[in-house]
Amino acid sequence: MIHWILFSTIATGLFYGLYAILLRRDRWFQLSRLYLLVTLVFSLVFPLIRLPQALSTSLIYGMQAEPILLREVTTTSETATYYPTDIIPIVYYLGFAVTLVALVFQVIGQAAIVLMLRRKHPVYGEKDGYTIPHGASLILLPDDTAPYSFFNQIVVGTRSLSNDELLCILAHESLHVRRTHTLDLIVMRTLCCVAWFNPFAWLMTYEMRAVHEFQADATSLGICNRKEYLHLLYRQTTGIGYGHITNNFQSIKIKNRIAMMNKPKTRYGAWKLLTVLPVAALMMVVGCQPAAEKANDTEEPTTVSQTVPADTTPGQVTIAASDDASALCAENSPEFAGGMEALSKFIADNIRYPEQAKRDNIQGKVLVRFAIDADGSVADAEVLRGIGGGCDEEALRVVNAMPKWKPGRVNGNPVRVQYTLPITFKLQ
């Protein structure tokens, strides 16, 4: 949960920053609309993706053809006890429920208002001579209600409006209906419910509303007299905040809308989005979690049990029988001081089941490759396949903490020998 909250917020902030720099002041409205929706969805989804980690190609050290597979180590533990951070999922789901319920009531409430207006006031359509999209309905009110659209319903207060001004408003709201802008807002607000903790998600929703208005203004200017349209905008002194799910004629600051009307469309606006690709790739590399390996239940290795000391995590460490020692190609293979039993005891005494992995119910096999150098020291330890949750780091820590081995020899000379150690983390 913490991983998802952290990386989704960072990614959304980066994508929002790129939008503010590259697209906010440009007239590539449809591209901006797609960018805001896709990047917000990507930011919320990619931290949840678990990518399989392919095993790296084995390197050749000295005369060794391939790494030696050591005995598999399995560490088991009881499930985690309560931690203060355990309250985070509770707070998250509470916030999600509150924001989602608020959105549902808002949509239902707006639908009820439109239905009530349809019953109380005349409803017009395209067949009545009004320039509105096919299938849309126009509700004309005898007051100063600010014009807005909700799905295919257009509501306009006609008091003090001339016929030309009504034509401009209908052109504006009709664009919202044709482009299904209400659906955009509901999708963005739903994503904001999922990421209610993320300020950048709410800012991107506001930017989506601005793009909607810029698109509608551009369409209206192609139909209305520019001076009359600007005068009409100045007359709109009230509006609906960006938290609402209707497309209101005066929902974005007039100053920003007028500034956008005067901006030319740049020639290379679409190419700016290429800068998003490296950011998305970086997020995938850093934020995606490795997939846990499925346990292989078809093989039953020979095991011996050792009790974990009192200061370690409760449970047992079991060591499976190793591969045949004849696999070594060095004449005298490296030796851990005290032999394999001593190595098993060292791992049993030092391994810890990470608390984060227990809280997140993470289990699986971590594959660590390391080399015993010519002087007997452990070198170049790396995780070939991990499962996350701190298990990879713990396995690497234990391997790097091993004392010096007796080095292997070929023709009497010390050589570097590579090993692969599987460590399985399993919850009881």
List the beta strands (DSSP E) in 291-416. 303-307, 316-320, 364-372, 378-385, 408-410, 413-415
Residue 378 CA to residue 149 CA, distance in Å, equals 69
Q: What's the first-to-final CA gap in the chain, in angstroms?
A: 22
CA distance 165 to 146: 13
By mean pLDDT, which of 262-271, 298-307, 349-358, 403-412 is the weakest?
298-307
**Of 169-183, 212-226, 336-350, 396-410, minimum mean pLDDT range:** 336-350
Rounded to the nearest integer, the mean pLDDT of the chain is 77
> pLDDT tier at 33 (50, 70, 90 boundaries)?
very high
Neighbours of 219 (CB within 10 A): 17
The pLDDT of residue 428 is above 50: yes
pLDDT for position 410: 80
| Residue 289: predicted pLDDT | 59
Mean per-residue pLDDT for 45-58?
59
pLDDT the model gives residue 27: 82
pTM above 0.85, yes or no: no
Which pLDDT belongs to residue 79? Answer: 58
Q: Directed axis angle between helix 29-45 and helix 276-287, to 10°?
A: 10
pLDDT at position 136: 92
Q: How confident is the model at residue 241 (pLDDT cuts 50, 70, 90)?
A: very low
β 289-290/316-320 pair status? unpaired
The tens digit of pLDDT for each residue in 64-112 reads 445 666 666 666 666 555 556 668 888 999 999 999 999 999 999 999 9
Task: Give the gyration radius of the chain's Cα atoms.
Answer: 32
**pLDDT over 50 at 210, yes or no:** yes
* Residue 54 neighbours by CB under 8 Å, 6+ apart: none
Q: How many angstroms separate the CA atoms of 102 and 113, rounded? A: 16
Rounded Cα–Cα distance for residues 389 and 352 (Å): 12
Q: Is 398's pLDDT higher than 50? A: yes
pLDDT of residue 319: 32
Higher-pLDDT residue of 345, 380: 380
**Selection from 175-184, 257-266, 385-394 with the highest mean pLDDT:** 175-184
The per-residue pLDDT for 228 is 79
Residue 25 has pLDDT above 50, yes or no: yes
| 72 closest CA partner among 376, 364, 405, 427 | 364
Backbone φ and ψ of 275, nearest 5°: -70, -15
Provide the residue ranges of all domains of the chain, joining segments of one domain with +: 2-51+85-287, 293-427
pLDDT by residue (tens digit) across 322-366?
A: 333 333 444 577 888 888 778 878 887 888 888 888 888 888 888
| pLDDT given for residue 304 in this prediction | 28
* Partners of 304 in beta bridges: 319
Q: Which amino acid is at 21?
A: I
Residue-level pLDDT at 82: 55
What is the pLDDT averaged over residues 197-219?
Answer: 92
Give percent above pLDDT 70 in the chain.
75
Q: Which two tokens stand for residue 390?
A: 């701190």
Nearest Cα to Cα of residue 100 among 195, 225, 207, 236: 195
Query: Mean of the pLDDT values across residues 106-125?
Result: 94
Least confident of 41-55, 172-186, 291-305: 291-305
